[in-house]
């Protein structure tokens, strides 16, 4: 196990868009990459990328100090440490550097992190890239959340937090656009098809899955309806943990914070104009992509699955 940890450099996973899928990924990452000897965990990603859900999956029961429902833990436990070891102090601390820096100087936060580590505690730091220059040492495990989840075990040769930040911040926009486009597709498809669909991921896009039989709707017509909603420039607003509003319509969504602010923020939305049949999972796939290379990406995905047409299930 330790040999595998030592040889690990960087891994990448699709960042799922629903809470349950994010929790499940967090549990998987903890099993594969987290060591009992990891004392400093650095989390990097923009607001709304799903960092908190990933942390909850990796560390079940951990009290987050920047709860998504607006409940903030005060005073910050990390700043209330005893000078020495105490039976009643937490084993694991959490803090959001960007949020806490509004109340406490960055140097004080850095000193508190160092003190906790010296006391044998584990510290999970969101927006780790902001405090890294004051610490003078890297995290044992770096996790970046954008369109993909990047997991790195830094050595003296890197990667640096800024490298992870540059990658995940640049890619997050695709994830937000893809998720919003996916929800617009759900909004426009027949109710009976919506009730039975599932979800999967592709780079710069999304997959909506349908078991048993092909959906009964025209893909090009669906694409036109979605692009019409994009042109309407509708606002998208968080309602609760399971709903967003798109214009004046409430829509069920398990990742309500992972959206663009307006439908017009979605760039170059396209659907593959036929369903792909996944013979391994025995389901039909509706594939969509966003961004300037959306059509090329769809063509590549279509060509890739065609190469597997001679496979026997």
Q: Locate tokens 């969504």: which residue?
A: 253
Backbone phi, then psi, for 54, in 5-degree steps?
Answer: -65, -40
Q: Which residues of the chain have pLDDT under 50?
A: 1-4, 311-313
pLDDT of residue 6: 65
Same-domain pairing of 123 and 38: yes
Number of domains into which the chain is organized: 2
Domain limit, last residue, from 159, 194, 222: 159
- Asked if residue 43 is part of any domain, the answer here is yes
pLDDT of residue 310: 54
Using the 8-state DSSP alphabet, how is residue 265 labeled?
Answer: G
Contact predicate 226/188, CB 8 Å: yes
Same-domain pairing of 34 and 83: yes
- Asked if residue 165 is part of any domain, the answer here is no
Same-domain pairing of 28 and 149: yes
pLDDT of residue 67: 64
Q: How far apart are CA 225 and CA 27, in angstroms?
A: 38
CATH number at residue 242: 3.30.980.10
Let me know if 73 is exposed, middle or buried by CB neighbors in 10 A (0-12, 13-18, 19+): middle
Domain limit, last residue, from 111, 127, 159: 159
Q: How far apart are CA 140 and CA 158, in angstroms?
A: 11
Same-domain pairing of 97 and 234: no
Same-domain pairing of 209 and 300: yes
What's the token pair of residue 160?
Answer: 């640096």
Using the 8-state DSSP alphabet, how is residue 275 labeled?
Answer: P
- Asked if residue 94 is part of any domain, the answer here is yes
- Asked if residue 289 is part of any domain, the answer here is yes
- Asked if residue 224 is part of any domain, the answer here is yes
Using the 8-state DSSP alphabet, how is residue 216 labeled?
Answer: S
Range of the domain at 22: 2-159
Same-domain pairing of 262 and 233: yes
pLDDT of residue 3: 47
Same-domain pairing of 222 and 297: yes
Selection from 123, 41, 36 nearest residue 77 by Cα: 123
How far from each other are the two terminal CA atoms of the chain, in whole angstroms? 34
Residues linked to residue 43 through DSSP beta bridges, in sequence order? 126, 143
pLDDT of residue 313: 42
Selection from 193, 162, 171 nearest residue 258 by Cα: 171
pLDDT of residue 309: 58
CA distances from 208 to 38, 171, 241, 310 (A): 37, 21, 21, 24
pLDDT of residue 68: 56
Q: How far apart are CA 41 and CA 64, in angstroms?
A: 14
Selection from 213, 225, 157, 153 nearest residue 188 by Cα: 225
CA distances from 182 to 21, 169, 242, 271 (A): 16, 21, 15, 10
Q: How far apart are CA 301 and CA 245, in angstroms?
A: 31
Using the 8-state DSSP alphabet, how is residue 189 labeled?
Answer: S
What's the token pair of residue 280?
Answer: 């391994």
Same-domain pairing of 16 and 97: yes
pLDDT of residue 13: 94
CATH number at residue 143: 3.40.50
Same-domain pairing of 195 and 299: yes
- Asked if residue 168 is part of any domain, the answer here is no
Q: How far apart are CA 209 and CA 285, in angstroms?
A: 5
């Amino acid at each position: 196990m330790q040999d595998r940890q030592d040889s690990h450099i960087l891994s990448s996973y699709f960042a799922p868009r629903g809470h349950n899928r994010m929790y499940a990924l967090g549990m998987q990452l903890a099993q594969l990459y987290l060591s009992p000897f990891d004392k400093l965990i650095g989390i990097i990603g923009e607001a709304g990328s799903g960092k908190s859900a990933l942390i909850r999956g990796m560390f079940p029961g951990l009290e987050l100090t920047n709860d998504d429902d607006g409940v903030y833990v005060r005073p910050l436990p990390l700043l209330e440490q005893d000078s020495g070891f105490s039976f009643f102090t937490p084993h694991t601390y959490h803090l959001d550097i960007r949020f806490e820096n509004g109340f406490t100087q960055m140097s004080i936060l850095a000193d508190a992190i160092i003190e906790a580590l010296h006391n044998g505690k584990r510290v999970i730091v969101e927006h780790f890239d902001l405090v890294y220059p004051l610490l003078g040492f890297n995290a044992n495990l770096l996790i970046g959340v954008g369109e993909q989840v990047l997991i790195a075990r830094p050595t003296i040769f890197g990667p640096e937090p800024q490298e992870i930040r540059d990658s995940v911040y640049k890619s997050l926009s695709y994830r937000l656009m893809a998720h919003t486009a996916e929800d617009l597709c759900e909004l426009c498809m027949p109710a009976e098809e919506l009730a039975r669909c599932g979800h999967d991921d592709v780079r710069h896009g999304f997959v909506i899955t349908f078991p048993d039989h092909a959906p009964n709707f025209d893909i090009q017509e669906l694409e036109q309806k979605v692009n019409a909603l994009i042109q309407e420039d509708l606002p998208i607003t968080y309602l609760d943990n399971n709903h967003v509003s798109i214009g004046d319509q409430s829509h069920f969504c398990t990742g309500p914070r992972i959206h663009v602010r307006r439908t017009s923020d979605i760039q170059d939305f396209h659907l593959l104009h036929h369903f792909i049949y996944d013979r391994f999972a025995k389901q039909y796939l509706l594939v969509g992509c966003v961004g300037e290379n959306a059509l090329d990406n769809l063509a590549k995905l279509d060509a890739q699955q065609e190469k597997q047409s001679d496979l026997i299930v």
